[in-house]
Amino acid sequence: MVAFDLASYFRRLGATPNGARALRQDLVRGLKDYYIYLYGYDRYGAETIVFLSDRMARPFVYGFALQRIVHDRRLSDETKVNAVQYALDVADYGQDLGLPYGLLGGVLVLARFGCLDEADLRYALTLIAGATEPFRGLSREEFLEFTERLLADERLPQVERAAWAHTLVARHLGQSGAAALVDTVAGSDNLAVDIRRELCRAWAYLRQPRLDVEIPQATGTPRECFVAEHMPFWMAHLPSFPQSAMVRLGLVWSVRLGADPAELIFDVLTNDHVFADQVWSGVADILAENHDRMRGEDVRAIIAAGIRPPAPTGARRKFYRLGMELFGDEYRELAGRDSAGSVRRWAAKI
């Protein structure tokens, strides 16, 4: 591995003397952030700078410094853009510690400055396609903004934007903001309704979305050649096992996007489902939003199913509450006789 050379890095970024001093501080602080991430404390203190030439040669570690650089008000926009481009250049696909930490945060900075071209966007998305927690290092506001910008980027076909959004959401793995991320994609007017319906159907039924994504042809640049080589694999292997919020909200958004609520509910409840808790919760949400346009006997039948096992206790409370709102205190009495003590205690308090 080639050592990280400060002088060459400063020249690469076009840093002024003042900019070089700020960058040096950001690199050291970024390395400290890495050690805190790794060990839980600032392992080397004042000696951290000694390890720059070795540790910053690892793209993953450089990503911690990049987080400092892009938020440093002392640095020019040009320097920040060059720092992000450096991260894309040194990314080592398929290698341990080969992807810069928080890479998509850097890509977001390029987008904010109007410097993110189509090839670099695809390159970054292809690099990160196999990573768990692709939004690692980004705040909730940042990854939601990134997703919104991706969905609105008309340089990419809608089906491609939907495919990238799907893999990002699925690999977010239920981290904080997962539900907001699903709502951002399913509720985006930048995707056609039929595409969003397909995403939601795939999420609810634990399968890959059926999206016919066209792979762009390479025109000679290394990044475009990389995309042409690796993007087909990731489009063929879109995640088919979603995280929990995708299942619940996939059901809810399917109805919001035109599915018949009763038909969808009866269909999903007749199938064994790995995410049974999320299915029952989603059914309760659908019923709460759509009971007024459903037949009364269907509503009663669904509530009757929802207040009995195997529906989980959290969902049962939702169904009991909905039954009380629609049909009266008979459901309060039923809740008081529920087999779960937590439900009975809940019923006694309301």
Preceding peptide of 310 cis, ω within 30°: yes
Residue 333: the pLDDT is 93
Indicate whether 290 and 144 sit together in one domain. Answer: no
Q: Tokens standing for 330?
A: 């008979």
Indicate whether 221 and 86 sit together in one domain. Answer: yes
CB-based contact 227:123 (threshold 8 Å): yes
DSSP assignments along 291-317, one per residue: GGGS-HHHHHHHHHHHTSTTS-HHHHH
How far is 323 from 301, CA to CA, in rounded Å?
A: 11
Residue 272: the pLDDT is 76
Q: Which residues contact 215 (CB under 8 A, 6 or more apart)?
A: 227, 228, 231, 232, 235
Q: Which DSSP helix (H) or strand (E) runs through 17? A: helix 17-39
Domain total for the chain?
2
Indicate whether 221 and 337 sit together in one domain. Answer: no
Q: Which DSSP helix (H) or strand (E) runs through 344? A: helix 341-349
* Dihedrals phi, psi of 173, to nearest 5 degrees: 60, 40
**Domain extent for 271:** 260-349
Indicate whether 148 and 20 sit together in one domain. Answer: yes
pLDDT digits 0-9 by tens, 194-252 = 999 999 999 999 999 999 999 998 888 999 999 999 999 999 999 998 889 999 999 99
Indicate whether 189 and 228 sit together in one domain. Answer: yes
CB-based contact 247:201 (threshold 8 Å): no
In-domain check, residue 52: yes
Q: Tokens standing for 225?
A: 């050649």
Low-confidence ranges of the chain (pLDDT < 70): 1
Residue 306: the pLDDT is 95
How far is 278 from 223, CA to CA, in rounded Å?
A: 40
